[in-house]
Chain A
């Protein structure tokens, strides 16, 4: 029995269309509809297909024009993760569209595009495919059904005698064919189905294939438009001088020299600092350098990383319980052997390749924003707050994102642009420098963990206590989601420890020292997988057990964890000796509804760690595009490896010490390990793909270093005593 689409009633369609502001069927139009389209062949964007009165647009997701092009609206932001291809694949599958005629367009901000998992139009938490898995396929199936009805009535045959393939309706007996383009105008008049049937997985022709990404051609010839590339008539460019100390405020400034710089148009204060507006970025920056600014540095002016560490130390044993099973204290007292360790990880910047930016044009009657954002709803809300305009007067054009990683779910750069444009009444692009980007991030929280465990005579862990002290992201972003002092993003990856250990406690002490924190690829699991997976290797060593076999034993009852663990170990040749001079480490982690295990092959030479090979196994449920899954594992590994080997933001005098790639370095080509990715076949509901590859890499590498040196790695980035 095929899956019955439940969410797609006629009423649902009406609601969707009304929310998007268009008539129901013919001439469906979304105000401010992005025109940036891409397709597999790299064709130039069509001109205004949305306004074509002959186009068939039965819902907010798809439009078919008489030329037989299928345009899919993508509500999620394309930041490299391939969503501009995977979402159209879902729709094209159920529509039976000719993939070579499918193009994608970024959706405007509208309620119809709310991600069902998040409740906002926001791309984060690896939710795009798993959130839109059903509604987008239903939209494709509904459109298909209407096209079939149009063909059947044209031919005077029952709809059940027709089938569809490659954007054509085919009559089974006569072999007559009509293309979707030919049928578009007629289909637009058909009744929107109350409900639809979805394909069985065995019927998939596109889902599960390595279809080529729609955005790649434009990303090889310079034509892809990122936020920093937005160009408008009369566009001004602004650079903002911010207080270097977190929480500081502007006291006064002298702009006389800045205003004398050729090209500088205006200088004025906004909430985040002093804005220098010019006719180009370079004069804006020169003007900014000529500013004299006095700051009230506020309460954090003496804050340092050492202070923050002290705050963690003092708080760590006073946390609230996030999970408790059995009686770990007594188990520790009675144990044959106990192990204790303190683990620490630093704050991390996101370092998107494209520094933060936003372009806005505020007029009295409306506001238009062009921005590389993960958060369309949030962007609209920020603009409403600043301009006082209602939602329908604020248009958000999402550009390509030069990296996101969670940073672009924030709205600080949006507020800059909207405030400056509102002040001037002109279109303005705000562009951050790399230094601004490094020093004014919402950082991956630093974390401090005190761990204790007990082993029985056989070397098996029987008690586990993990006490966490770290800042809370949710206490700023969504305070209502902090329950009884627990921010789930601070304990994820620790609270859900999958190992069969009878006595277990995880506690959390919230410490917010004043450094802004935010979502960073894989969030809490980025630090907690490192801490728990490395501590488990310490237990294996203490109990004389093989780290892989110990995990395997303790993962009884967790078949998907075990599945990826076994696959990674097998492909890495865990049971054979590592190549000469190399050592292996293994780690497994579940995050964002997916499971990943990695084996790292590492050498340590004269205090230097080199990662030669990483074998990754991933179980992300049903796979939409296996090449995208592989690419995301490669990407997540590099992101996590960069942090593990060299990522550290330190605080001195209330400010970030690092500034650019000089002191906040990135992994480069010459340091790139060979990465192999293996996908566990699965028909489970799709899991996340963008983030789950990051958590296991730091512990896999650290455990390999432990194997090489005999000394556990308890702090990131990995530094060896010489």
Chain B
């Protein structure tokens, strides 16, 4: 046996572990099909369904989309799209403002290990609590509408924003603060000239990233009554009114892609 072969034969045999992994995944996959059934009649109607879906886009209701004719602007889909955008925007703003103090409490190099653990735990609880259930509770508890949507998105985003903000604070360069100390800066000056310039670009980029996610979830939360387009989406989905759904989807596509483009452009500029 030459040297190459002997080295090759010493290669760790990982295939058993890999096989077990694949087997476990597939077994669970098979299990997850338990109690499912397919109606053959439905299968035959799939092409019609896809046809209807795309047909909807040829019958876009322009008067409902833009709010002329028998529709007032406040009733139009464009208005609701703007409202959805507003929910995403204010939600992100609220979330970022709330996340700043919490993230300092979760940053090890600011408050020390013990307090940081408590802060991190708090953030995990917020992150794990499902947004939809929060929306449900707030809609039942304080009433529906866009303001509730803002509250829901604002509170829920604190979880992720706080975690990422805390990571940004933890990775901060402390030498510039030391330098400010050396020239006799006071606490406010240290925050203003040592911490803020380092954190602002990172934090704004994180917030912009979250804005993208929030606008998407704002389009759904309306189903529960938290304002925005989502209510229409559920009202017209049973039975599906494809032309209306297509009209709403056009509004969502324009809105979400615009936010996506602006957010990623600004993030590229920041970092």
Q: Is A bound to B?
A: no
- Chain A positions near chain B (C-beta within 8 angstroms): none
